[in-house]
Structures are given as structure tokens and as C-alpha cells.
Structure 1
Amino acid sequence: MNIKVVVVGKIKEKYFTAAIKEYEKRLSRFCKFSLVEVRDEKAPESLSSAEMEQVMEKEGDRILAKVSDREFVFALAIKGKELTSEAFAAQIKDLTTYGHSDLTFIIGGSLGLAPAVLQRADFSLSFGKFTLPHQLMRVVLCEQIYRAFMINSNSPYHK
């Protein structure tokens, strides 16, 4: 099984990088895990809605260039569906049972995801209505993916 996380931008804080590396190591017993960073689009603080769309579209093109047709894609979006950790684990288990061995998770840039990325997604996933820094969201997502594998292997980790 392959799990890929496609993200916009680079991580600046070493402690986020260290946490992600730890989850990569833990996940290695369950899957081939990769984190793919695409360049964020430089933009001034105040943008018109047309400029915002352009930024999201350019970042969206970079994201979609990293996604193949065979991948099952989860887009992280505030308006997505919220799941419990157990329901998320069950979904991953079901997907792999029914032939989806390539799962991709997408975290957009600070402006969100382009409509083209949301259209490509097979599932929009929300971690709630809180706004989290994108770098922290990477750590949270990696932990939840790891938690899903631990739930599916009946490990007491998730309790």
C-alpha cells in the first residue's frame, strides 16, 4: 500500500519536521509513505478575489501534477466530511480491501484548494471548523493515518 501526502509549501519549524519523520518511521511497517511538497505561489497580503483564484489555480496545477488517475484522493477541506478516527480507519480498510492501494491526501495552501483539486478528489475530509496552521495540519494528518493503521491492527495505541 502507498500513502502519499501532497502539500503546498515547505515546513519551516524543525519540531514539525521531527514529528512528521517520527510518523513516517512508524508508518513504514504498514505502508510506503511519502510527503510531496509543491511550491507555494508568492502573493501579497491583500489580494483581490480574482488574484486569489489565480494563486489557488497555480498551486492546484502543481498539486494535480503529482496525482495519478489510479490514486484515491482525499482533499482536506473545511467543508469536507468530518469522521471519527474509527470511521476514518474503517474507510482506509475498506478502500484497501476493494483494490485501492494508492491513497493520496492533499493539503492546500493558505488560501485553500482550487476547484479543480476539489473536483479531482474522491473524498473531501474535514478535521473540523478550526483553522490550523498548514504545517501543524501535516503532523495531525500523519498522526491520524498512523492511528487508523493502529485501530485496524487492533492495537491499544488509539485508546
Structure 2
Amino acid sequence: MLHIRIVAVGKLKEKYLKEGLREYIKRLGAYSRLEIIEVPDEKVPDKPSDTEAALIKRKEGDRLLAAAGDKDYIGVALDPRGEMWSTEDLADKMRRWELYGPNLVVFFIGGTLGLSKEVHAVCKAKWSLSRLTFPHQLVRLILLEQVYRGCKVNRGETYHR
């Protein structure tokens, strides 16, 4: 069974997102071992300088890496500049990760400014969910839904398209 750890910047505040996450956490229980770890976000000024932005991303990145824990994992950075994967691509990657290991996959979700270069450095893959920009809190729900869909595909179970 694949072990999935989602490490994300910031706490979810919106009730509808919390409810959605609870639903997919429940559904995924039959398919994988799942952990979601939230790390504190930094206050971001309205118009941060490049230096301020880099410092904020580094601080948040340090927290993400500390929370990721175990060094023996496959890191996946959720990044709008990453590679676009179909649901079938994700399912195939999940199948290979489970077969060939390590059996722990860590998905990194950055804050408002994205992920630090240090987080990118430990990631074997960079995945863009869409060309659209989503709030980082919503990305968690989209990610869980896609992981669930990938699990269903890998088990040969039906899941509407």
C-alpha cells in the first residue's frame, strides 16, 4: 500500500475545503496510508521585493522539509511550471512508486509565493495541476481527488470521467 504524505504551507480555514478533505481522506483509507501535515505560513507583504519573497519561500521551505521527515521518499513539487499529467499518468506513476519504491511519496504544496529552491532540489518530479492558478488551500482538495481517482484506476474500478 502506497504511503502518501502531503506537506502544505498554511492552515485550511474554509469549512467547505475542510469537509471536502475529510471526504477524500475517508475514501482514500481503503487505498493508501495518508498523512497531511500543515506548516505555518509567513506573512507576505502586498508587494514583496525579490529578496523578501526569497526569504519567505526559504523559511516556509525549511518548515516543509522538516515536516517531510524521512529522507527516503519520492518528492513531488506541486508547481504551476511543472509537467502536466493526466489522471492516467498519475495512476501509472503511483503504480510504479508502489512497486519500485521507496514506498513513501511526499507531495509539497507551497504558500502564496510557491516553493523554495531547496524544496525543488529534493523533488524528483514537478507537477502542474493546470495552467490555471489555484489558491494553495484548494490545491490540497484537487490533489486528494486526483490521488483517489488514480487509486481507483489502478484497481480497475470505475470512476466517472
TM-score (norm 2): 0.96
1:60 aligns with 2:57: no
Give the Cα–Cα distance (whole angstroms) in 2 for the partners of residues 103 and 141 of structure 1: 13
Match of 2:150 among 129, 148, 151: 148
Partner of 2:40: 39
For residue 32 of structure 1, report the CA deviation from its aligned partner.
1.2
* Structure 1, 96-105 or 110-119: larger mean CA deviation: 96-105
Match of 2:123 among 118, 121, 124: 121
| Cα distance per residue 1:12-34 (max 9 Å; x no partner) | 10110000010000000111111
1:139 aligns with 2:141: yes
Amino acid at match of 2:56: V
For residue 100 of structure 1, report the CA deviation from its aligned partner.
2.3
Partner of 2:82: 80
Partner of 1:89: 91
Runs of 4+ in 1 over 6 A off after TM superposition: none
For residue 93 of structure 1, report the CA deviation from its aligned partner.
0.1
Task: Give matches, 1:18-33, under 5 Å.
Answer: 18-33=19-34
For residue 99 of structure 1, report the CA deviation from its aligned partner.
2.3
For residue 76 of structure 1, report the CA deviation from its aligned partner.
0.3
CA RMSD, aligned part only?
A: 0.9
Give the Cα–Cα distance (whole angstroms) in 2 for the partners of residues 99 and 74 of structure 1: 14
Give the Cα–Cα distance (whole angstroms) in 2 for the partners of residues 99 and 10 of structure 1: 30
| Cα distance per residue 1:33-90 (max 9 Å; x no partner) | 1110000011321211100000000000000101221111110011111111001100
The total of aligned residue pairs comes to: 159
1:16 aligns with 2:27: no
Amino acid at match of 1:64: L
| Cα distance per residue 1:81-116 (max 9 Å; x no partner) | 111100110010011111221111011000010001
Percentage of identical aligned residues: 37
TM-score (norm 1): 0.97
Amino acid at match of 1:54: L
Amino acid at match of 1:23: Y
Q: Which runs of 5+ in 2 are unaligned?
A: none
| Secondary structure of the structure 2 residue equivalent to 1:97 | helix
Give the Cα–Cα distance (whole angstroms) in 1 for the partners of residues 102 and 95 of structure 2: 10
Give the Cα–Cα distance (whole angstroms) in 2 for the partners of residues 156 and 31 of structure 1: 18
Give the Cα–Cα distance (whole angstroms) in 2 for the partners of residues 126 and 149 of structure 1: 19
